[in-house]
């Protein structure tokens, strides 16, 4: 059995000004791709383990993934998908580690268009895909995949397990032990990422229903929250049910879970507080901690409006300047992505007193935001290569390379400035350059969710701050033009009882 295994991951924020060329994917081809994926805690890593256990011949055309950003460059999308499609000739089965929310300059449905091309070449071969929980699913993906399974956790810690699930079903299908059928529903519901965490609320209940349906006999049931910051036809939540030969039973499960979600649709909508209200809340939380006379724990300020893992520029300074204007101090912040400032600070050298503009240099023209850089004054406290190793639980053991990194101490704030946008996977983002996050009064993180397993346990309180970035939860800021209407919550006042969404 000859099995194609590939990874092509990108969550596209079509409003983001951050470019996505081929280099952003750091593609690894052939044997290099195989080595990069084998043993990794990814779906592709699970695919390889399963294929090797089955004694299959493995073809790995490419392993590629980029941080969320703007539309994928047409040349990059064409090259990467051509690489996969050309390698599929002569294969008996296909296992794909995809995100599900890729939008390219030349494709609004990156994954669906790829699968259509693969199905044309391999009309009878089993095709299984592992998907991110935030995928925007289309009819094309459903039509051309035999098996589709998504993560059940957010923050995501089950990438490998999802791949194992999808891959196991593919090999059972190939052996004719199961006969997969797919049913799906896509309510007109654009969720907010902050309401897609799987440990609480409506999303937790939806995932629990999916797991219960699997225990009751469905081969796989997935709830995908979707990714709303994409101006495509339907950046919406969906339910995918893989049944075993009984289409009617699968349809009934999809109907039931979709109806449950729609009934709880308000639970998938996040309402942002004004930034000044959030900063005042953080100030009160810090005072409450100090008033107890206990050991200090930091208050987390989560700048989810400029989140790296949703396509943020990571250079918007609205939250920091609001905190400084309020008189907050003891702030550890970063990383702020500003290669120009990094170069200037390194040229000044450790110990130098400097005044220079930091951040607010990347315009967001689709949102009509053209920030004016404001100066910070302080001392260059440290310079590093920007590398550390993640201790877990997400991407455990992976080495992070942030580019050259500088610590600017302004007195009230210790500002980490990097050459690239970064997510807060680990305390190492601070400790690698000599900042003790436990000692801060406030930790200002450009993060929504991935920071939480590591940073919440050391924190006194968590305050979500919606600044002026391109990953804001205020959908009213975004000029959606392609989205099919009506859709909730953009059209909250629609008479929904008259709208039939029972089929996508």
Q: How many residues can be counted in the chain?
A: 504
Neighbour tally for 344: CB within 10 Å: 17
- Name all contacts of 351-355 with Cβ < 8 Å and 24+ positions apart: 351/379, 351/380, 352/379, 352/380, 353/377, 353/378, 353/379, 354/378, 354/379, 354/380, 354/408
Tell me the C-alpha distance between 382 and 342, whole Å: 11
Q: Is the pLDDT of residue 161 over 50?
A: yes
Phi, psi of 296 (to 5 degrees): -65, 140
Q: Is the pLDDT of residue 293 over 80?
A: no
Position 291 scores a pLDDT of 45
Position 391 scores a pLDDT of 86
Predicted TM-score (pTM) of the model is 0.93
Tell me the C-alpha distance between 232 and 210, whole Å: 26
Instruction: Count the helix, strand and coil residues of the chain and give each as a percent rounded to the nearest 5.
Output: 35, 20, 45
pLDDT band at 301; cut points 50, 70, 90: very high
Q: Is the pLDDT of residue 326 over 70?
A: yes
Position 323 scores a pLDDT of 96
* Average pLDDT, integer, range 254-261: 96
For residue range 458-503, what is the model confidence (pLDDT) as tens digits?
Answer: 999 999 999 889 999 999 999 999 999 999 999 988 877 767 777 7
Q: Is the pLDDT of residue 427 over 50?
A: yes
* Average pLDDT, integer, range 449-456: 91
8 Å CB contact between 25 and 64: yes
Tell me the C-alpha distance between 475 and 194, whole Å: 13
Position 289 scores a pLDDT of 52
Q: How far apart, in Å, do the first and last CA atoms of the chain sit?
A: 35
The percentage of the chain sitting over the pLDDT mark of 90, rounded to a whole number, equals: 90
Whether the bond into 393 is cis, omega within 30 of 0: yes
> For residue 383, what are the β-bridge partners?
406
* Average pLDDT, integer, range 380-396: 89
Task: Tell me which of 155 and 86 has the higher pLDDT.
Answer: 86
Neighbour tally for 224: CB within 10 Å: 26
Q: Is the pLDDT of residue 167 over 80?
A: yes
* Average pLDDT, integer, range 415-440: 95
Packing angle, helices 74-88 and 110-121, rounded to 10: 30
Cα dihedral sign, 312-316-317-318: negative
- String of DSSP letters for 442-482: EEEES-SSTTHHHHGGG-SEEEEE--SSTT-S-GGGS---S
Position 394 scores a pLDDT of 76
Position 295 scores a pLDDT of 61
Position 288 scores a pLDDT of 66
């Amino acid at each position: 059995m000859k099995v194609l295994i590939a990874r092509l991951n990108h969550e596209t924020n079509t409003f983001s000004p951050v470019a996505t060329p081929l280099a952003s994917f750091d593609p690894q081809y052939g044997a290099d791709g195989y080595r990069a994926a084998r043993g990794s805690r990814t779906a592709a890593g699970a695919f390889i383990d399963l294929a090797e256990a089955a004694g299959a011949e493995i073809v790995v055309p490419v392993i590629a993934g980029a941080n969320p950003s703007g539309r994928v460059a047409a040349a990059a999308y064409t090259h990467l998908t051509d690489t996969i499609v050309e390698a599929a000739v002569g294969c008996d089965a296909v296992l794909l580690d995809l995100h599900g929310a890729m939008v390219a300059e030349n494709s609004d449905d990156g994954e669906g268009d790829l699968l259509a091309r693969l199905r044309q070449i391999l009309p009878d071969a089993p095709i299984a895909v592992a998907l991110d929980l935030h995928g925007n699913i289309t009819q094309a993906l459903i039509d051309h995949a035999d098996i589709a399974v998504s993560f059940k956790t957010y923050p995501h810690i089950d990438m490998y397990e999802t791949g194992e699930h999808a891959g196991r079903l593919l090999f059972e299908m190939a052996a004719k032990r199961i006969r997969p059928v797919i049913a799906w529903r896509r309510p007109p519901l654009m969720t907010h990422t902050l309401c897609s965490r799987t440990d609480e609320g409506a999303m937790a209940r939806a995932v629990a229903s999916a797991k219960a349906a699997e225990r009751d006999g469905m081969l796989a049931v997935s709830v995908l929250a979707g990714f709303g910051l994409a101006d495509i036809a339907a950046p919406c939540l969906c339910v995918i049910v893989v049944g075993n030969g009984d289409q009617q039973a699968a349809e009934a499960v999809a109907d039931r879970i979709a109806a449950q979600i729609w009934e709880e649709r308000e639970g998938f909508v996040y309402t942002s507080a004004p930034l000044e209200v959030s900063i005042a809340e953080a100030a009160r939380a810090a005072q409450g901690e100090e008033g107890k006379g206990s050991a200090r724990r930091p208050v987390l300020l989560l700048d989810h409006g400029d989140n790296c893992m949703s396509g943020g520029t990571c250079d918007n300074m609205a939250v920091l300047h609001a905190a400084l204007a309020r008189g907050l101090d003891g702030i550890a912040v970063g990383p702020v992505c500003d290669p120009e400032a990094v170069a200037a600070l390194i040229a000044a050298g450790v110990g130098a007193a400097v005044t220079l503009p930091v951040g607010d240099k990347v315009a967001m023209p689709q949102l009509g935001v053209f920030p004016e850089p404001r100066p910070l004054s302080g001392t260059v406290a440290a310079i590093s290569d920007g590398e550390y190793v993640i201790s877990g639980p997400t991407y455990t053991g992976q080495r992070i390379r942030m580019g050259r990194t500088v610590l600017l101490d302004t007195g009230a704030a210790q500002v980490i400035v990097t050459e690239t946008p970064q997510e807060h996977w680990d305390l190492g983002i601070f400790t690698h350059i000599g900042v003790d996050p436990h000692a801060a009064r406030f930790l200002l993180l450009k993060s929504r969710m991935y920071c939480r397993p590591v940073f919440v346990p050391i924190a006194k309180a968590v305050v979500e701050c919606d600044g002026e970035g391109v990953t804001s939860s205020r959908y009213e800021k975004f000029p959606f033009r392609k989205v099919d209407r009506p859709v909730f919550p953009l059209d909250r006042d629609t008479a929904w009882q008259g709208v039939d969404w029972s089929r996508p």
